[in-house]
Structure formats: structure tokens, C-alpha cells
């Protein structure tokens, strides 16, 4: 497919995915907040609680029935298409970005896995993941929500580890997010919506609703609520190579996921007491620790200002060596990187330089030295899929040049 059309297709689907995702997440957060903040003291008969709220210049009165009103209202709003459209647009984006270019974005560099096999594993794992999750929820383990949550967390991280063994780091993260999203939309389609339909049908037929199904739907809705923040991080993770590009990317995601769940739990429980007030400072401290442990190892640049008189006599030789080294660096960059990162990319996959990063001139190369180190030397996620076959010696050359001050003179 034409690179320009692919880019706009990517943009359009990603934009839709973000819009409907905001709608779904917003509804999820709001209804969990509403459930947690209902006034349950002496509710009116048939109610489990109510809430008064003010927003946008108006005052609202919301009531929650224990099961349902004696008679169904004429107009009842259903929250489902936000979830369905988010998943459908997410799968479409997965196909456009990863499955149309599996050798570039999906498969790990040097892997002998065929594109067809990689796609089958990726998409098939989403389906298998949903059924494993559903079976666990319906098992005796489902009667102990906290233990179930821990088991689910371990299994999701195990899936990320498995993905990282066969996919690129970026694709491993995205498939983990897709797995979480599939579980979330499966909860809506297979559990929450059927429970709601059964509740409405019982009222319309003058039957006593079964309280088991709504309770099951509420539990799955809680799961979706805790899944949300890890899924949101994964959606933006491709901008942060120090996470998915690390050798221990699955452990980093485990830590970020745990911190996200911790922060979400604080907001879900703060209406009862402040016993989880420590959660937000702990999450912030955890992020600082992650930033520290994921920092790339760098050799300090030489302190030229402290050069002795004896060392100064060799400055001309050092300058010549620096110029010679940059000539080698420039050759590597132009052979391995400007295929994509150029004002006029020669790669048929791009109509413009990705993220606007170009290496056509010496000044552009020097300006991007920090990014070159992060993505080519430290994490080695670039070139994508190592499509241009950059060698380890070439990466070492770039790292040494950057450590010495990234001189182009």
C-alpha cells in the first residue's frame, strides 16, 4: 500500500480509537465514582442509594435501584458502543501498523518466525486470553477477588514476557494492551450486557430479577476499571523506548502496571477513608525509581577544560581522530538510518521522515545524538526490525562517538 495512504489510514483509525476510548474510559470512571459515592443512609424504598451533584451550571439527582424500578422507563440509555468501537478500532490499528508490515514492526530483529505465524500467534493469543480469563473468573478462584486479581496480574505479565520472546518490544507491549482490551470488551459483550438484558427482561415480564447476574456484571466492571490505567500507558508506550526497548521490558511493564493499579485503587477507595492515602506518593516514588533503574549506561565525556599542558600538545591529533570518527559515524547513519530518516526517504514504507527526525546533514545528526544513543545504542530498537542490518560494531561506534561529545568537527 502507498506510504502516504498508509499514514493517513493510521492517523484516521488512531484518532477514532482515541475518541471512542476516551468515551469508554470516561463512562467507566464516572460510574465507579458514582457507585462509590452513593448516599446509602436511609434510602427510599427500592433504592440502594442516591446522589446529588452539580455540574455545568445544573443540579442533578441520581438514584440507583437495588435491582430495577417497578416499571421500566420508556427511554433507557445503554453503554456499549463506546466499548465495542474502541476494540474494533484498536484491532484495525493493530492490523494497519503491525500486521501490514510484520517484518518491520511486529517480528523481533533476527527472528526466523514467518510473518503469517507471527500474526496468527498475535491475534490467536487475544482469543485464548479471553477464554482463560473467563474460566478463571467463573472458577472457585472468582470467589476471592483479591487473589483472582493477583493471579490475573501475573498471567498478563507472563503474556508480555512471552510476547517479548518472539515480537519486537514495541509489538510485545501493544499485544499486551490488546489482550487487556479484549478482556475488557469481552466483559462488556459476554457478561455485562447479557446481565443487563436479563434484568430488563425480568422487569418487563413482571418477574423478580436474578441478583446473581448484576453482581457478576459489577465484578467484571470493576476489573475493567483496574485494567484501564495500564491499558492507557500501553497506548502511549511507543513514545518511550526506555520501557519497551529494554531487555527487561516485561518487568518494567509489570512495575508500571502495579503502580497504575495502586493509583487507581486510591481513587476507588478514598470515599471510605484515607487509609490508602500513601498510594499516590508511593506510585510517584516508584516512577522515580523506574526512571533511575532504566537509565542507560553511559561513559562520561572527557573534561576538556581540565586538560594539562602536556595533553594540550596532542589536541591537533585528537581533532583529526574526532573528524575521522565522525566520518565513520556519518557513513553508518546514512547507510543504516537515512533510508527512513531523511527529507526524502528511500524506503517505500514512509512518505516523510518518521517523527520529523532527519539525518541528512552533520548538524542534524549531532542535534539528535541523545535520541540516537537511546534508540540505537542503549535499547537497540532502531533501525525498526533492524531492517538495514546495523551491526553491533556500528552501534558501538555510535556509542563511543556520543560518549566523547558527539563532535562533528
Burial class (CB in 10 A: 0-12, 13-18, 19+), 295: exposed
Q: Is the pLDDT of residue 406 over 90?
A: no
Smallest CA-to-CA distance from 173 within 111, 239, 117 is with 239
More confident residue, 130 or 404: 130
Q: Residue 140 corresponds to which cell in the numbers above?
A: 472457585
Distant-in-sequence, close-in-space partners of 408: CB < 8 Å, separation ≥ 6: 326, 362, 363, 365, 366
Tell me which H or E stretch contains 51: strand 47-55
- pLDDT (tens digit per residue) in 290-304: 988 887 665 444 443
Domain ranges of the chain: 80-293, 317-403
Count Cα neighbours of 270 within 13 Å in the Cβ-side half-sphere: 11
CB 221 within 8 A of CB 192: yes
Q: If you search the block for the grid coordinates 478462584, which residue do you land on?
A: 141
> Percentage of the chain surpassing pLDDT 90?
40
Distant-in-sequence, close-in-space partners of 148: CB < 8 Å, separation ≥ 6: 136, 137, 141, 142
CB 221 within 8 A of CB 31: yes
CB-based burial, 384-399: b 16+ in 10 Å, e otherwise: bbbbbebeeebbebbb
- pLDDT (tens digit per residue) in 253-303: 999 999 999 999 888 888 777 788 898 999 999 999 998 888 766 544 444
Smallest CA-to-CA distance from 129 within 63, 180, 69 is with 180
Look up the pTM and report it: 0.80
pLDDT-derived band at 349 (thresholds 50, 70, 90) equals: low
What is the rounded end-to-end Cα distance, in angstroms, of the chain? 42
Amino acid at each position: 500500500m502507498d506510504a502516504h495512504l498508509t499514514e493517513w489510514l493510521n492517523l484516521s483509525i488512531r484518532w477514532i480509537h482515541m475518541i471512542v476510548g476516551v468515551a469508554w474510559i470516561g463512562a467507566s470512571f464516572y460510574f465507579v465514582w458514582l457507585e462509590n459515592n452513593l448516599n446509602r443512609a436511609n434510602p427510599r424504598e427500592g433504592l440502594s442509594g442516591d446522589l446529588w451533584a452539580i455540574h455545568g451550571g445544573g443540579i442533578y439527582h441520581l438514584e440507583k435501584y437495588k435491582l430495577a424500578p417497578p416499571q421500566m422507563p420508556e427511554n433507557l440509555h445503554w453503554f456499549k458502543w463506546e466499548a465495542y468501537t474502541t476494540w474494533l478500532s484498536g484491532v484495525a490499528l493493530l492490523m494497519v501498523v503491525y500486521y501490514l508490515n510484520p517484518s518491520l514492526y511486529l517480528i523481533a530483529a533476527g527472528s526466523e518466525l514467518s510473518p503469517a505465524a507471527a500474526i496468527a500467534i498475535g491475534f490467536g493469543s487475544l482469543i485464548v486470553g479471553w477464554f482463560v480469563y473467563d474460566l478463571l473468573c467463573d472458577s472457585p478462584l472468582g470467589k476471592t477477588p483479591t487473589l483472582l486479581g493477583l493471579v490475573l496480574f501475573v498471567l498478563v505479565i507472563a503474556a508480555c514476557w512471552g510476547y517479548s520472546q518472539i515480537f519486537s518490544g514495541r509489538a510485545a507491549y501493544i499485544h499486551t494492551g490488546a489482550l487487556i482490551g479484549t478482556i475488557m470488551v469481552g466483559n462488556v459483550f459476554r457478561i455485562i450486557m447479557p446481565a443487563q438484558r436479563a434484568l430488563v427482561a425480568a422487569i418487563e415480564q413482571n418477574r423478580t430479577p436474578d441478583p446473581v447476574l448484576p453482581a457478576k456484571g459489577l465484578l467484571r466492571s470493576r476489573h475493567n476499571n483496574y485494567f484501564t490505567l495500564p491499558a492507557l500507558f500501553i497506548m502511549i508506550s511507543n513514545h518511550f523506548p526506555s520501557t519497551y526497548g529494554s531487555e527487561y521490558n516485561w518487568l518494567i511493564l509489570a512495575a508500571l502496571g502495579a503502580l497504575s493499579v495502586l493509583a487507581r485503587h486510591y481513587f476507588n477507595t478514598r470515599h471510605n477513608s484515607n487509609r490508602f492515602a500513601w498510594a499516590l506518593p508511593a506510585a510517584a516514588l516508584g516512577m522515580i525509581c523506574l526512571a533511575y533503574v532504566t537509565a542507560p549506561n553511559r561513559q562520561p565525556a572527557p573534561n576538556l577544560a581540565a586538560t594539562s599542558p602536556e595533553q594540550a600538545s596532542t589536541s591537533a591529533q585528537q581533532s583529526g581522530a574526532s573528524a575521522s570518527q565522525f566520518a565513520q559515524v556519518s557513513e553508518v547513519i546514512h547507510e543504516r538510518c537515512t533510508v527512513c530518516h531523511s527529507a526524502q526517504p528511500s524506503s517505500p514504507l514512509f512518505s516523510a521522515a518518521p517523527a520529523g527526525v532527519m539525518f541528512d546533514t552533520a548538524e542534524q545528526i549531532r542535534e539528535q545524538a541523545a535520541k540516537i544513543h537511546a534508540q540505537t545504542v542503549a535499547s537497540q530498537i532502531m533501525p525498526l526490525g533492524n531492517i538495514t542490518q546495523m551491526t553491533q560494531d556500528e552501534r558501538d561506534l555510535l556509542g563511543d562517538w556520543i560518549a566523547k561529545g558527539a563532535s562533528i568537527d
